[in-house]
Amino acid sequence: MKILDIAFKDLTRSFRSAFAIGMMVVAPLMLTGLIYFAFGGMSSGDVGMTAIKVGVVNADQLPSDSVLDAPIGDNIRSMFFDDSVKSWIEASDYTDEASVRAAVDKQEIGVAVIIPQNFTTSYMSGEKDVQVLIVNDPTLSIGPAVVEDMVTMMVDGVAGGGIAIETIMERLQANGTQPDPSQIPAWIERYTNWYRDFQRNLFHNPDKAALVVVAPSAGETETADPLTQMMGLTMAGQMIFFAFFTGGNSMMSILREHEEGTLARLFTTPTDRTKILMGKFVAVFITVLLQGLVLMIAGRFAFGVQWGKPVSIALALTAQVFAAVGLGVLLISFVKSTKQGGPVLGGGLTMLGMLGGLFTANIPGGMPKAFDAIGNFIPQGWVLKGWRMALDGSSAGELLVPFLVTVAMGIIMFAIGAMMFKRRYA
Amino acid sequence: MSYAIEVKNLKKSFGDLQAVQDASFRVEAGEVLSLLGPNGAGKSTTISMLSGLLAPTSGDGCIMGHSIIREPEAAKKSLGVVPQDIALYPDLSARENLVFWGKMYGLRGAVLKTRVDEVLEIIGLADRQKDHVGKFSGGMKRRVNIGAALLHKPAVIIMDEPTVGIDPQSRRHILDNVKDLNRQGMTVLYTTHYMEEAAELSNHIAIMDKGRVIAYGTHDELIKMVGEQTRIDVTLNTEAEKVLTAWRATEGVSKIDSLDGKVTALVDDSNRVLPRLFEAAAKANVRITSVDIQEPNLETVFLHLTGRALRD
């Protein structure tokens, strides 16, 4: 019972300290929030761009003798109605140029895309003045630019296709072979595939090809959103760093009590010294656990972080608590006064946090292998591994190794620290 | 005879330093014993051992018959300790502090609540019980510091220089508290280096110096140790060294010590000795600026026993 009394007293003091609350909850949320707003996040967790309202007039018609299956205007139109762009483009059909211009004037839409009646015919015959007309609200800048880029890229692609077909036909004729017009759709498909690969190479990232549209698979969760994914790791990194700080800072209460004289007074009461130490350890454990829970809930609601499956979350959080308490007890057991404690916690934990990868978790392509290897010797590195897996949706079974390693590290550090404290005080 | 506190050949060494050497004394139930001595005499080390804070190097002590070595928990249950420095949680209220310390002495529920209310009345802070201790004045903190040791109604209370560094009004309040507690039957072991406090409060006084108990008795018994000797305090216009050797050799001077330009001497008959002191001072070209002749007191006893003034 006295163990809980001591723990409750320590918790009361901790939660009355503005500094402790600041370092426990406010600082990690503020730092994560800064990163979040720097990347344009909003409270819902999406990218936050306002949908561009586009009106499309597609008057294009396929000439009767065309080798194409559908007019090119249909391809341009379909680009704005594709499921993959629905979150940021709101497209609607208009019957004629007058009605779509009127809609722009009334600011019902931001951009009008007008594909003329003879677009395919003119385009295929190589006319130079063929054009898709874009009319936009003059007060807007980003939306029309995006639409223009999309149309340009589409038209460029088609133009490239035309050139490719012309070249094929010329080469065939030069070789004395008469081209078969029924082959043209297959050539266009081959060109399209090549153009997609070209774009991928151009952006050096298969995920960033501008016109490659991949519809999300059924059942895919919010974590697929890159911002939300990034915020998950950022929040986890901050939470881990400050959990370790809280572990050490809470354990410093024993030094504070020593300096305030209350520890000596506790020793004059009929309370076993081991119980006094246990009470302080329990307080640190509960503080770090509560901090983790508060930050997880805050991260979910403020930044839309999907922490993972419940059992995986429980394992990652438990591992974090064990490691943070263990390292806190161990570090403070070497410290003689609260004056020494500040630099030891600040410097030591920042260094270990860096080596554990807490501040580099979001670097594209990751860190060099040697750096990652160092993380295997650092408790923070293992805690981060656990959270990374939980965030990726790993199961409890998959999380078992980082969980066991982290808990074992925590227990060993705690045992050494507790032994040192017992030797000093008990 | 039942003793509330019994100290037998208590010893404490810190490396080569012998902080307490063979200290022995007894305190009868219901009386006040003052441990009197200068800073560093071993008073705080002695009570630290009795309160379970330090383990003795050798010897033993008993609180209400319980050995501090063999039955430390039982000894501590009979004991309330008021530390020299304020040992409270500044960010908890006076009531929260008392509740916590009450729990550490095993009090729970209604008993704890009643005792906290009673103690708040005793220390005169019932109306400020919800205020954080950190906001209190030094005197108020001292009162809570004492209150925390009274919650479990201990048979013995140890107070380590509880009046150091506080204003006269708070000091008076604390001394009155000690007397009240003693009247209620509590045994008090009180350490101080103020001889007036020891004289006012104590049934018995143990004088400590350099880790040893050098005298023990009632106030009157201790005064008798110096016989008919009188204490003379002399202030000079220059350093005492110029005349101290001559005065030390003067007939009728038994002990002499100087500090900060003030010389304290123990003499057999002040009427006869004082002219000789003036004569020696004149020869050494030293001018006496003031003379204070005092009847024997505890300071005189200490000077008599150690050759040094208590204020050293």
Beta carbons within 10 angstroms of residue A173's beta carbon: 11
SS3 call for B188? strand
Structural domain that includes position B178: 3-223
Average pLDDT over residues A121-148: 78
Q: Give residue B148's pLDDT band: very low, low, confident or very high (50, 70, 90).
A: very high
pLDDT for position A41: 53
Mean pLDDT of A25-29: 80
Nearest to B77 among A16, A267, A270 (CB): A270
Nearby residues of B207 by Cβ (< 8 Å), 6 or more positions away:
B36, B37, B213, B214, B215, B216, B222, B298, B301, B302, B305
Question: Is residue B264 one of the residues assigned to a domain?
Answer: yes
Give a yes or no: residue B270 inside a domain: yes
- B140 in a domain, yes or no? yes
pLDDT band at residue A408 under the 50/70/90 scheme: very high
Domain-located, residue B308: no
**Residue B310 covered by a domain:** no
At A215 the pLDDT is: 37
* Stretch B74-99: mean pLDDT: 93
Chain B positions in Cβ-Cβ contact with residue A17 (cut-off 8 Å): 91
Question: In B255-286, which positions are buried (b, 16+ CB within 10 angstroms) versus exposed (e)?
Answer: bbbbeeebbbbbbeebeebbebbeebbeebeb
Mutation site, A3, A268, A424, A425, interface B, largest B CB count within 10 A: A268
The stretch A302-313 carries a mean pLDDT of: 86
Q: Which member of A13, A261, A272 has the closest CB to residue B85?
A: A261
Taking CB atoms and an 8 Å limit, are B104 and A264 in contact across chains? Answer: no
Residue A266 contacts B, CB cutoff 8 Å:
yes
Q: Could you give the percent of chain B with pLDDT greater than 70?
A: 98
Q: Are residues B252 and B190 in the same domain?
A: no
Q: Do A270 and B105 touch (CB under 8 A)?
A: yes
pLDDT value, residue A234: 84
Please answer yes or no on whether B104 and A271 come within 8 Å at the CB atom.
yes
Are B148 and B176 contained in the same domain? yes
Residue B300, domain member (yes or no): no
Which of A5, A9, A267 shows the shortest C-beta gap to B52? Answer: A267
How many CB pairs below 8 Å do chains A and B form together? 59
The pLDDT assigned to A217 comes to 41
pLDDT tens sequence across A352-407: 988 888 888 777 666 777 777 888 898 999 999 999 889 888 888 889 999 999 99
pLDDT digits (tens, 9 = 90+) for B154-183: 999 999 988 887 788 888 888 888 898 899
Q: Is B6 helix (H, G, I), strand (E, B) or coil?
A: strand
Domain presence at residue B217: yes
State which of B223, B242, B274 marks the end of a domain: B223
pLDDT surpasses 60 at A46: no
* Alpha-carbon gap, residue A212 to A366, rounded angstroms: 25
Q: In which residue ranges of chain A is CATH 3.40.190.10 found?
A: 52-208
Whether residue A47 is predicted with pLDDT greater than 60 in this model: the reply is: no
Do residue B254 and residue B166 come from a single domain? no
Whether the predicted pLDDT of A67 surpasses 80: no
B158: three-class secondary structure by DSSP: strand
Choose one of B223, B257, B278: the last residue of a domain: B223
Do B34 and B107 fall into the same domain? yes
The mean per-residue pLDDT over the stretch A13-25 comes to 82
Residue A191 in contact with residue A160, Cβ under 8 Å? Answer: yes
Q: What is the pLDDT of residue B61?
A: 92
Confidence (pLDDT) at A128 = 65
Higher pLDDT, A244 or B240: A244
Contacts of B89 in chain A (CB under 8 A): 9, 13, 260, 262
CB contact under 8 A, A261 and B87: yes
Spatial separation of the C-alpha atoms in residues A269 and A6, rounded to whole Å? 13
Q: Give the whole-number percent of chain A exceeding pLDDT 70.
A: 88
CA distances from A367 to A95, A392, B6 (A): 54, 18, 70
Residue B136: DSSP 8-state: S
Residue A199 is predicted with a pLDDT of 64
**pLDDT tens, position by position, A225-243:** 666 777 888 888 888 998 8
Using an 8 Å CB-CB cutoff, list residues of chain B that contact chain A: 51-53, 73-74, 76-77, 79, 81, 83, 85-92, 96, 100-101, 103-106, 108, 148
Query: What does the block give as tokens for A373?
Result: 């290897």
The dihedral through the CA atoms of A385, A391, A394, A395 has a sign that is: positive
Q: Which pLDDT value is given to residue A149?
A: 80
B60-84, pLDDT tens digit by residue? Answer: 999 999 999 999 999 999 999 999 8
Percent of the residues in chain A that have a pLDDT greater than 90, as a whole number: 18
Q: What is the CATH number of the domain that holds B202?
A: 3.40.50.300
Rounded alpha-carbon distances, angstroms, from residue A265 to A44, A108, B68, B101: 52, 76, 16, 9
Helices and strands of chain A, counted as H and E runs: 18, 4
**Is A222 at the interface with chain B, CB within 8 A?**
no
Determine the distance in angstroms separating the CA of A204 from the nearest CA of chain B, rounded to an integer: 59
Question: Sorting pLDDT into bands at 50, 70 and 90, what band is A212?
Answer: very low
Residue B172: the pLDDT is 87
Predicted confidence (pLDDT) per residue in A320-355, tens digit: 999 999 998 888 888 888 888 888 888 888 999 888
Statement to judge: residues B36 and B155 lie in one domain: yes
List the helix and strand counts (H, then E) for chain B. 11, 14
Round to whole Å and give the CA distance between A223 and A305: 8
Average pLDDT of span A193-222: 51
Q: In the prediction, which pLDDT does A364 show?
A: 65
Residues B192 and B242 in one domain: no
Closest to B279 in 3D by CA, of B309, B247, B234: B247
Q: Does residue B132 sit in the same domain as residue B281?
A: no
CATH at residue B247 = 3.30.70.980
Residue B159's pLDDT is what?
92
If one looks up domain A52-208 in CATH, what number appears?
A: 3.40.190.10
Split at pLDDT 50, 70, 90, the class of B109 is: very high
ipTM of the complex model: 0.81
Do the Cβ atoms of A5 and B83 come within 8 Å? no
Is residue B187 scored above 80 in pLDDT?
yes
Predicted confidence (pLDDT) per residue in B209-234, tens digit: 888 999 899 988 888 887 778 888 89
Domain annotation covers residue B303: no
Structure tokens, A307:
């922490």
Structure tokens at A174: 């030069």
pTM recorded for the entire structure: 0.67
pLDDT at B259 over 80: no
Is 50 exceeded by the pLDDT of residue A209?
Answer: no
Q: Do B76 and A9 touch (CB under 8 A)?
A: no
For chain B, give the mean pLDDT. Answer: 88
| pLDDT tens track for A168-184 | 888 888 888 887 777 77
A122 vs B218, higher pLDDT: B218
Nearest CA in chain A to B76: A270
B174 and B103 housed in the same domain = yes
Q: How many domains does chain B have?
A: 2
Diameter of chain B by CA atoms?
76
Stretch (H or E) spanning A55: strand A52-58
The answer to whether the Cα torsion of B179, B183, B186, B189 is positive or negative is positive
Which residues contact residue A364 at a Cβ distance below 8 angstroms, ignoring those fewer than 6 apart? none
Banded model confidence at residue B252, pLDDT cuts 50, 70, 90? confident
The lowest-confidence range among A88-92, A225-229, A352-356, B88-92 is A225-229
Tell me what pLDDT residue B150 has.
92
pLDDT beyond 60 at A49? no
d(CA B254, CA A315): 81
Is the confidence at residue A153, as pLDDT, over 90?
Answer: no
Same domain, B197 and B269: no
